[in-house]
Structure 1
C-alpha cells in the first residue's frame, strides 16, 4: 500500500507537471489545490528537491517547478524516493533488501517468490508510466492490450 507521503508527492508532482514551463509555483497554491497539509508538503518537496526532481527558489517570486520534463519522471521514481522500495516485503526489495524478521529460511519461503513476482510486475507498470502519461482511466495497461483482429480481405 502506498503511504501518504508517496500519494501526496504524486499529487504535487502531477500538479507541477500540469504547470510545466510556466515558472515557479507557490507552495500554498500546490497545498490548497491538492489538499495537502502545507507542513507535510514542505518536507516532501524538500526531499524531491534534494533528489533533483524539482527545483526551488525562495522569495516572493519563488516557488517550485519540475527540474525534468514530465515524461522523464516515472511513478516508480516517485515511490522509490518517498517510500524507499516498490516491494511489499523487505526480502523482495531490489535495492533495499533485508531478510524478513521471524521468517523461514529464504530457500524455503514460497511467499518471497510470490512477492518478487509482484514487485517485478509493479515495477514494470510504475517505471513505464510517467507524469506526462494520460490520466488514470485513460492508461492502457498491459492486460488491456490485445492485437487487433486481422481484417478479412474483400
Structure 2
C-alpha cells in the first residue's frame, strides 16, 4: 500500500507533467497544490525531496516555480516509491536496496515465508519496474488503463 505522501507526490507530478505537455512554464506551489488537491504545507516538503533527485527543478522569481526536469518517460515510479516510502519489498530479506536478515530467521534458504513472498514480489517487480510517469499521464481518467487486469485463477 502506498502512503498518502506518495499519492500527493504522484498527484503533483501529474500536474507538472500536464503542464509540460501543454508547453507551459513552471507552476507556483500554490497552483500545484490547488490543481492536485494536495495541502500546500505537505507539498512543499515533498517537492523539495523530489527536487533533490533531479526529477523536478525549481526557479526563483516572479515567473518561477516548479517544473519537471526530466522527460516523463524517464521518471521511474519505483524510484519515486523508494524515495518517498522507502523499500518496497514486503520483507527486509527481499529488499534490493535495504536488505536485512529477518531477526527471527534461522535459515533464509528454507524459510517458507520468504519463498512464498519472494515469488509474489518478483512478479510485482516485473510489473512495476517498467512503470513511469508517462504511463500515468497517458492513462488519463480511464481507471485501470495502465496495466491489464490480472486474469482470475480457476477455482478448484
TM-score bracket, shorter-length normalisation: 0.7 to 0.9
- How many equivalent pairs are there? 144
Q: Secondary structure at the match of 1:55?
A: strand
CA distance in 1 between partners of 2:44 and 2:121 (Å): 29
Which of 130, 139, 146 is the equivalent residue of 2:146?
Answer: 139
Q: Take 2:26 and 2:104, find their aligned partners in 1: how far apart are those partners?
A: 48
Unaligned runs of 5+ in 2: 152-156
Gaps of 5+ in 1: 145-154
- Structure 1 residue 142: deviation in Å? 8.0
CA displacement at 1:103 relative to structure 2: 4.0
TM-score of the pair, normalised by structure 2? 0.81
User: How far apart are the structure 2 equivalents of 1:16 and 1:53?
Assistant: 11
1:12 Cα deviation after fit: 1.0
Partner of 2:80: 78
Deviations 1:85-139 (A, max 9, x none): 2212212111111122434532332111222223222222222122112314222
RMSD across aligned C-alpha pairs, in angstroms? 1.9
Cα drift, residue 44 of structure 1:
0.7
- TM-score normalised over the length of structure 1: 0.82
